[in-house]
Structure 1
Amino acid sequence: MDKTWRKGYGLEIPAQAPTLVMSSKFYRNQSRENWHAHEAAQLLFCTRGVVRVLTPQSSWTLGPLRAIWLPSDCPHELHALGDIQVLNLYMDRHSGDAFWPECHSLHVSPLMNELLQNLLLAQTATSANPSRAALIVPLLFDELKNTPDSPVCKLPLPTDRRLLSICELMLATPDNNATLDFWGNKVGASSRTLTRLFREQTGMTFARWRQQLRLSEAIAQLAQGDTVMSVANKLGYHSPSAFISMFKKSLGETPQRYLRT
């Protein structure tokens, strides 16, 4: 096995071989890794807790066993929403090009989880086992390619300065019910213009974007121990059942099941 190493962001990644490198890391609540990028492609997911990953285009809020694929050289930032355990798979650029050219969300199946955990053991145990790792890799690649997309809370971020200003203000106050007419007066644009820009730059209506924002905030608050009733009240829902219905419609599961490891 090649023993030439290069260092980056606290992780030693081999310059040539092996193709895949695993790492596991624990983060305390509210800790973060600031903006950075890797030459390697990266698969990142929480084995415990909830993580928020920011990219230049979107904010992704991922519950347990929901993963994000970050292609080579993709800038990103990580926020821990509660105490979390993160598992990372780093893949060389050539191998990563066989998967997704852009950020992509997926569900970590039980088989994929076991393969990744065993690959981590094969690479980091006291007596590393390259031959075992070599057996795991082909099946892991096949599982990755055949894993369906996973519903996750993805919040697209616009580039228009007026729209971005509105989004930043709403991110600070997710329970805000102000209309586009109100925001238009704030930033000097008509509600018609803002409506068009929201669709063009986020792929969502303003109402849908605000719902995704509240969903992201709800996951963050639930991950840090707030009750469903408390979160529903904070975000302006008339009842916990209305909030649970919205959550299940968006993510396919109730809040309790979604956050269950």
Structure 2
Amino acid sequence: MDKIWRKGYGLEYPVSSPIMRVRVQPYATNTRESWHAHEAAQLLYCTTGVLRVLTPEASWTLGPYRAIWIAPDIAHEFHALGHTHTFSLYLDPHTARQFGPVCRSMKVSILQHELILSLQQALECTPSNAARFALIAPLLLDEFKNPPPSSVCSLPLPTDRRLRNICELMLVAPDNNATLEAWGTQVGASSRTLARLFRDQTGMTFAKWRQQLRLAEAVSQLAQGSNVIKIAEQLGYQSPSAFISMFKKSLGETPQRYLRN
């Protein structure tokens, strides 16, 4: 029998379920959960705040009503960009095969959100709640098999050491306007070599990758309550209208509508 555990309460009870563990985890601003991996797959839902999820292949920025599927044995790291709460389901490897071996982002529907809240309420050490959990869990997992399309900002990460160094520096300073020539001097490679490697390893030009990074940063700041004028200024746009145009072209919605949805 698997065990369900709620962090903070220290309660455990057996439940016949493909869910091996449940974790409710708060993160203070700038908290980092360092690189790790586990045999169980993880379905992580950001209930409040903003969380950046890193894997060896990509970076995702999750806001409220956004989730990510982390396949078994995939190394990952979390950065809390604001005061954040998360809800995670850990699935046994057999069940995880239904969701695929590749990490992907998901938009959480209202029904899925309510089912998650119901699961949290059922995390008490009583027979009736254990029975309730056993009823809700299969429905929630079935809903996540075909989630609504997600516009979560994701960034492919290169494997080349020099490019990886550039990307990691830009992740913490998305307003950095250094050219590839300047980066090449810093990491010891020509701008032509770096440009070719960016296209080969990320499928994007350097300029496009930086735009995606800034888009992810914009989503993060919007979710934390920053206004469009401040975000446009911080990310180096000449005007709020230029920022809004970029945002709408990339995500199909204005920043305000994106947050409402």
Does the pair score TM above 0.5?
yes
Structure 2 counterparts to residues 1-261 of structure 1, below 5 A: 2=1, 17-20=16-19, 21-124=21-124, 129-259=129-259
SS of the equivalent of 2:131 reads helix
Q: What do residues 15-41 of structure 1 show as CA deviations (whole Å, max 9, x unaligned)?
A: 994321333222222222222222211
CA gap 1:176/1:97 in 2 versus in 1, 3 angstroms: same
SS of the equivalent of 2:50 reads strand
Deviation at 1:197, TM superposition (A): 0.8
CA gap 1:110/1:212 in 2 versus in 1, 3 angstroms: same
- Asked if 2 retains the 8 angstrom alpha-carbon contact of 1:55 and 1:76, the reply is yes
Deviation at 1:51, TM superposition (A): 0.9
- Asked if 2 retains the 8 angstrom alpha-carbon contact of 1:22 and 1:119, the reply is no
1:19 aligned partner, one-letter code: P
Give distance in 2, aligned partners of 1:194 and 1:85.
Answer: 38
Deviation at 1:153, TM superposition (A): 1.2
2:184 aligned partner, one-letter code: G
Please say which of residues 117-126 and 150-159 is displaced more in the overlay: 117-126
Q: What do residues 170-189 of structure 1 show as CA deviations (whole Å, max 9, x unaligned)?
A: 33432232332333333333
Provide structure 1 residue ranges, at least 5 long, that are not aligned to the other structure.
Answer: none
Give distance in 1, aligned partners of 2:253 and 2:202.
Answer: 24
Give distance in 2, aligned partners of 1:249 and 1:15.
Answer: 49
1:202 aligned partner, one-letter code: T
1:137 aligned partner, one-letter code: A
Percent identity between matched residues is 60
SS of the equivalent of 1:142 reads helix
SS of the equivalent of 1:97 reads helix
Give distance in 1, aligned partners of 2:97 and 2:77.
Answer: 22
Please say which of residues 69-78 and 181-190 is displaced more in the overlay: 181-190
CA gap 1:15/1:162 in 2 versus in 1, 3 angstroms: farther
TM-score when scaled to structure 1? Answer: 0.86
Deviation at 1:5, TM superposition (A): 8.2
Please say which of residues 159-168 and 103-112 is displaced more in the overlay: 159-168
Please say which of residues 247-256 and 140-149 is displaced more in the overlay: 247-256
- Asked if 1 retains the 8 angstrom alpha-carbon contact of 2:6 and 2:23, the reply is no
- Asked if 2 retains the 8 angstrom alpha-carbon contact of 1:64 and 1:260, the reply is no
TM-score when scaled to structure 2? Answer: 0.86
1:140 aligned partner, one-letter code: L
SS of the equivalent of 1:124 reads coil
Please say which of residues 228-237 and 159-168 is displaced more in the overlay: 159-168
Give distance in 1, aligned partners of 2:40 and 2:27.
Answer: 22
SS of the equivalent of 1:123 reads coil
RMSD: 2.9
- Asked if 1 retains the 8 angstrom alpha-carbon contact of 2:171 and 2:213, the reply is yes
Please say which of residues 220-229 and 26-35 is displaced more in the overlay: 220-229
